[in-house]
Protein backbone atom coordinates (compact mmCIF):
# COMPACT_ATOMS: atom_id res chain seq x y z
CA UNK A 1 0.00 0.00 0.00
CA UNK A 2 1.18 3.51 -0.73
CA UNK A 3 2.57 5.56 2.08
CA UNK A 4 0.45 8.54 3.05
CA UNK A 5 2.39 11.74 2.40
CA UNK A 6 2.51 14.36 5.20
CA UNK A 7 0.24 16.59 3.13
CA UNK A 8 -1.34 16.38 -0.32
CA UNK A 9 0.10 17.33 -3.67
CA UNK A 10 -0.57 16.80 -7.36
CA UNK A 11 1.52 13.63 -7.58
CA UNK A 12 -0.68 10.64 -6.74
CA UNK A 13 1.57 7.75 -7.83
CA UNK A 14 1.84 4.71 -5.58
CA UNK A 15 5.11 4.89 -3.68
CA UNK A 16 7.06 2.50 -1.47
CA UNK A 17 6.43 2.98 2.27
CA UNK A 18 10.08 3.56 3.16
CA UNK A 19 12.92 5.35 1.38
CA UNK A 20 15.99 3.11 1.23
CA UNK A 21 18.50 5.04 -0.92
CA UNK A 22 21.88 5.53 0.73
CA UNK A 23 24.19 7.17 -1.84
CA UNK A 24 25.03 10.78 -0.84
CA UNK A 25 25.97 11.58 -4.44
CA UNK A 26 22.65 10.31 -5.79
CA UNK A 27 20.74 12.17 -3.09
CA UNK A 28 22.58 15.39 -3.98
CA UNK A 29 21.84 14.79 -7.67
CA UNK A 30 18.13 14.46 -6.94
CA UNK A 31 18.07 17.57 -4.76
CA UNK A 32 19.83 19.59 -7.45
CA UNK A 33 17.31 18.48 -10.05
CA UNK A 34 14.43 19.18 -7.68
CA UNK A 35 15.68 22.71 -7.01
CA UNK A 36 15.29 23.67 -10.66
CA UNK A 37 11.77 22.27 -10.87
CA UNK A 38 10.63 23.89 -7.62
CA UNK A 39 12.08 27.20 -8.82
CA UNK A 40 10.18 27.03 -12.12
CA UNK A 41 6.87 25.52 -10.98
CA UNK A 42 6.58 26.10 -7.24
CA UNK A 43 5.72 23.31 -4.84
CA UNK A 44 2.21 22.47 -5.99
CA UNK A 45 3.10 22.65 -9.68
CA UNK A 46 6.10 20.35 -9.42
CA UNK A 47 5.52 16.65 -10.04
CA UNK A 48 7.74 13.79 -8.95
CA UNK A 49 7.85 12.58 -12.56
CA UNK A 50 9.21 15.91 -13.74
CA UNK A 51 11.71 16.05 -10.87
CA UNK A 52 12.97 12.55 -11.65
CA UNK A 53 13.38 13.41 -15.32
CA UNK A 54 15.20 16.65 -14.58
CA UNK A 55 17.47 14.93 -12.05
CA UNK A 56 18.33 12.20 -14.54
CA UNK A 57 17.02 9.32 -12.40
CA UNK A 58 14.14 6.90 -12.67
CA UNK A 59 11.00 7.55 -10.69
CA UNK A 60 11.69 4.36 -8.75
CA UNK A 61 15.12 5.66 -7.77
CA UNK A 62 13.60 8.98 -6.74
CA UNK A 63 11.16 7.23 -4.40
CA UNK A 64 13.98 5.10 -3.02
CA UNK A 65 15.40 8.32 -1.60
CA UNK A 66 12.30 10.36 -0.85
CA UNK A 67 8.91 8.88 0.07
CA UNK A 68 6.97 11.89 -1.20
CA UNK A 69 7.27 15.32 -2.72
CA UNK A 70 6.75 16.80 0.74
CA UNK A 71 9.69 14.87 2.16
CA UNK A 72 11.80 15.88 -0.84
CA UNK A 73 11.01 19.57 -0.49
CA UNK A 74 11.68 19.52 3.24
CA UNK A 75 15.04 17.83 2.56
CA UNK A 76 15.78 20.57 0.02
CA UNK A 77 15.04 23.26 2.62
CA UNK A 78 17.20 21.52 5.21
CA UNK A 79 20.09 21.24 2.77
CA UNK A 80 19.88 24.92 1.83
CA UNK A 81 19.92 26.09 5.43
CA UNK A 82 22.63 23.62 6.42
CA UNK A 83 24.89 25.03 3.68
CA UNK A 84 24.07 28.72 4.04
CA UNK A 85 23.61 29.42 7.76
CA UNK A 86 27.19 28.60 8.82
CA UNK A 87 28.41 31.24 6.36
CA UNK A 88 26.52 33.90 8.31
CA UNK A 89 28.33 33.14 11.55
CA UNK A 90 31.76 31.96 10.46
CA UNK A 91 33.37 35.30 11.38
CA UNK A 92 31.21 36.33 14.30
CA UNK A 93 34.09 36.08 16.80
CA UNK A 94 36.76 37.49 14.49
CA UNK A 95 35.77 41.15 14.80
CA UNK A 96 38.05 43.56 16.65
CA UNK A 97 34.96 44.69 18.57
CA UNK A 98 31.34 43.71 18.99
CA UNK A 99 30.07 46.09 16.30
CA UNK A 100 32.45 44.57 13.78
CA UNK A 101 31.27 41.06 14.61
CA UNK A 102 27.63 42.07 14.25
CA UNK A 103 28.36 43.75 10.92
CA UNK A 104 29.81 40.49 9.60
CA UNK A 105 26.52 38.79 10.47
CA UNK A 106 24.43 41.63 9.03
CA UNK A 107 26.22 41.66 5.67
CA UNK A 108 26.01 37.90 5.35
CA UNK A 109 22.30 37.95 6.19
CA UNK A 110 21.52 40.66 3.65
CA UNK A 111 23.43 38.82 0.94
CA UNK A 112 21.63 35.59 1.85
CA UNK A 113 18.07 36.94 1.88
CA UNK A 114 18.56 38.76 -1.44
CA UNK A 115 20.08 35.73 -3.21
CA UNK A 116 17.99 34.10 -5.97
CA UNK A 117 17.77 30.86 -3.98
CA UNK A 118 16.41 32.53 -0.85
CA UNK A 119 13.94 34.64 -2.82
CA UNK A 120 12.70 31.53 -4.61
CA UNK A 121 12.24 29.65 -1.33
CA UNK A 122 10.45 32.60 0.24
CA UNK A 123 8.00 32.85 -2.66
CA UNK A 124 7.21 29.13 -2.50
CA UNK A 125 6.79 29.05 1.27
CA UNK A 126 4.50 32.09 1.32
CA UNK A 127 2.35 30.84 -1.55
CA UNK A 128 1.99 27.30 -0.20
CA UNK A 129 1.87 27.91 3.58
CA UNK A 130 -1.93 27.94 3.73
CA UNK A 131 -2.30 24.57 2.05
CA UNK A 132 0.91 22.94 3.29
CA UNK A 133 1.77 24.38 6.72
CA UNK A 134 4.42 21.72 7.27
CA UNK A 135 6.55 23.34 4.58
CA UNK A 136 6.48 26.67 6.41
CA UNK A 137 7.24 24.97 9.72
CA UNK A 138 10.25 23.17 8.25
CA UNK A 139 11.56 26.38 6.69
CA UNK A 140 11.08 28.37 9.89
CA UNK A 141 12.68 25.73 12.11
CA UNK A 142 15.73 25.23 9.93
CA UNK A 143 16.15 28.84 8.83
CA UNK A 144 15.00 31.88 10.85
CA UNK A 145 14.55 30.03 14.14
CA UNK A 146 17.98 28.40 13.99
CA UNK A 147 19.66 31.67 13.01
CA UNK A 148 17.91 33.42 15.90
CA UNK A 149 19.06 30.77 18.37
CA UNK A 150 22.69 31.06 17.25
CA UNK A 151 22.77 34.86 17.55
CA UNK A 152 20.86 34.83 20.85
CA UNK A 153 23.39 32.42 22.36
CA UNK A 154 26.23 34.67 21.19
CA UNK A 155 24.62 37.77 22.70
CA UNK A 156 24.18 35.98 26.02
CA UNK A 157 27.79 34.89 26.47
CA UNK A 158 30.85 36.91 27.47
CA UNK A 159 32.07 39.41 26.56
CA UNK A 160 28.85 40.52 24.89
CA UNK A 161 26.80 39.94 28.06
CA UNK A 162 28.98 42.38 30.00
CA UNK A 163 28.75 45.10 27.36
CA UNK A 164 25.05 44.86 26.55
CA UNK A 165 21.90 44.93 28.65
CA UNK A 166 19.84 42.28 26.84
CA UNK A 167 17.03 40.90 29.04
CA UNK A 168 15.71 38.66 26.24
CA UNK A 169 18.46 37.55 23.82
CA UNK A 170 16.03 35.74 21.52
CA UNK A 171 13.83 38.81 21.12
CA UNK A 172 16.92 41.00 20.62
CA UNK A 173 18.26 38.65 17.94
CA UNK A 174 14.96 38.84 16.05
CA UNK A 175 15.04 42.63 16.32
CA UNK A 176 18.54 42.69 14.88
CA UNK A 177 17.56 40.54 11.91
CA UNK A 178 14.56 42.79 11.26
CA UNK A 179 16.84 45.85 11.22
CA UNK A 180 19.11 44.13 8.70
CA UNK A 181 16.20 43.76 6.27
CA UNK A 182 15.33 47.47 6.22
CA UNK A 183 14.95 49.05 2.78
CA UNK A 184 15.93 45.91 0.91
CA UNK A 185 14.20 42.63 1.83
CA UNK A 186 10.60 43.63 1.14
CA UNK A 187 11.45 45.11 -2.25
CA UNK A 188 13.50 42.08 -3.25
CA UNK A 189 10.77 39.64 -2.24
CA UNK A 190 8.23 41.52 -4.35
CA UNK A 191 10.67 41.53 -7.28
CA UNK A 192 10.96 45.32 -7.25
CA UNK A 193 14.19 47.12 -8.17
CA UNK A 194 16.58 47.07 -5.24
CA UNK A 195 20.13 48.31 -4.68
CA UNK A 196 22.29 45.32 -3.75
CA UNK A 197 25.60 47.07 -4.33
CA UNK A 198 28.31 46.39 -1.73
CA UNK A 199 28.11 50.04 -0.66
CA UNK A 200 24.39 49.87 0.04
CA UNK A 201 24.66 46.53 1.83
CA UNK A 202 27.48 47.94 3.97
CA UNK A 203 25.36 50.96 4.84
CA UNK A 204 22.35 48.85 5.86
CA UNK A 205 24.55 46.54 7.93
CA UNK A 206 26.26 49.45 9.65
CA UNK A 207 22.95 51.21 10.33
CA UNK A 208 21.40 48.04 11.77
CA UNK A 209 24.32 47.61 14.16
CA UNK A 210 24.20 51.29 15.14
CA UNK A 211 20.50 51.16 16.06
CA UNK A 212 20.91 47.83 17.83
CA UNK A 213 23.84 48.97 19.98
CA UNK A 214 22.21 52.32 20.71
CA UNK A 215 19.31 50.33 22.16
CA UNK A 216 21.16 47.66 24.12
CA UNK A 217 24.58 49.06 25.07
CA UNK A 218 25.18 49.51 28.80
CA UNK A 219 27.45 52.56 28.49
CA UNK A 220 28.94 54.79 25.81
CA UNK A 221 28.00 57.68 23.57
CA UNK A 222 24.95 57.31 21.37
CA UNK A 223 25.75 57.19 17.64
CA UNK A 224 23.66 59.66 15.62
CA UNK A 225 21.52 58.47 12.69
CA UNK A 226 22.99 58.79 9.21
CA UNK A 227 21.72 58.78 5.62
CA UNK A 228 23.02 56.92 2.58
CA UNK A 229 24.18 58.81 -0.53
CA UNK A 230 26.38 56.19 -2.19
CA UNK A 231 29.75 57.94 -1.72
CA UNK A 232 32.63 57.63 0.70
CA UNK A 233 32.33 59.70 3.87
CA UNK A 234 33.85 60.22 7.28
CA UNK A 235 32.58 57.94 10.03
CA UNK A 236 32.79 58.61 13.76
CA UNK A 237 35.60 56.69 15.46
CA UNK A 238 34.41 53.82 17.63
CA UNK A 239 35.12 52.42 21.05
CA UNK A 240 37.41 49.40 20.65
CA UNK A 241 35.22 47.12 22.77
CA UNK A 242 31.71 47.91 21.61
CA UNK A 243 32.13 49.77 18.34
CA UNK A 244 30.13 52.73 19.67
CA UNK A 245 30.91 56.23 18.43
CA UNK A 246 33.40 58.29 20.44
CA UNK A 247 32.60 61.50 18.56
CA UNK A 248 35.79 61.85 16.47
CA UNK A 249 35.90 61.12 12.76
CA UNK A 250 37.73 58.50 10.72
CA UNK A 251 37.51 57.81 6.99
CA UNK A 252 35.46 54.96 5.56
CA UNK A 253 34.87 53.74 2.01
CA UNK A 254 31.60 51.85 2.34
CA UNK A 255 29.22 54.50 1.07
CA UNK A 256 28.24 57.90 2.35
CA UNK A 257 26.66 58.10 5.74
CA UNK A 258 25.68 61.70 6.45
CA UNK A 259 23.69 63.08 9.32
CA UNK A 260 20.25 64.26 8.25
Same domain membership, residue 81 and residue 57: no
Q: How many CB atoms lie within 10 A of CB 141?
A: 14
Whole-model pTM?
Answer: 0.75
* Structural domain boundaries, residue 140: 68-258
Residue 9: the pLDDT is 41
Higher pLDDT, 150 or 43: 150
Higher pLDDT, 258 or 69: 69
Higher pLDDT, 10 or 200: 200
Supply the mean pLDDT for the chain: 81
Average pLDDT, stretch 85-109?
88
pLDDT of 159 strictly over 70 = yes
Average pLDDT, stretch 197-224?
89
Residue 254: the pLDDT is 39
Same domain membership, residue 131 and residue 245: yes
Number of domains in the chain: 2
- Residues with Cβ < 8 Å from 201, sequence gap 6 or more? 107, 110, 111, 184
Residue 97: the pLDDT is 84
Higher pLDDT, 58 or 218: 58
- What is the CATH number for 249? 1.10.357.10
Same domain membership, residue 136 and residue 251: yes
Average pLDDT, stretch 229-250?
49
* Model confidence pLDDT, tens digit, residues 180-206: 999 999 999 998 999 999 999 999 999
* Model confidence pLDDT, tens digit, residues 140-157: 999 999 999 999 999 999
Same domain membership, residue 53 and residue 85: no
Same domain membership, residue 116 and residue 22: no
- What is the CATH number for 4? 1.10.10.60
Same domain membership, residue 77 and residue 21: no
Same domain membership, residue 191 and residue 108: yes
**Highest mean pLDDT of the ranges 103-112, 127-136, 239-248:** 103-112
Same domain membership, residue 234 and residue 112: yes
Amino acid sequence: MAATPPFPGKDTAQVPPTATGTSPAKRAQILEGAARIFAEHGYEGASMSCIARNAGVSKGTLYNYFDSKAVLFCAFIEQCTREKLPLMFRRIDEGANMAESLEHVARALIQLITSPLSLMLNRIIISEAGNFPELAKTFWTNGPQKATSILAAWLARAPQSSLLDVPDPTFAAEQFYALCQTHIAGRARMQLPVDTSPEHIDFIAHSAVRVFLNTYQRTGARQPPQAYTGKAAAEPATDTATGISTGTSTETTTGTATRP
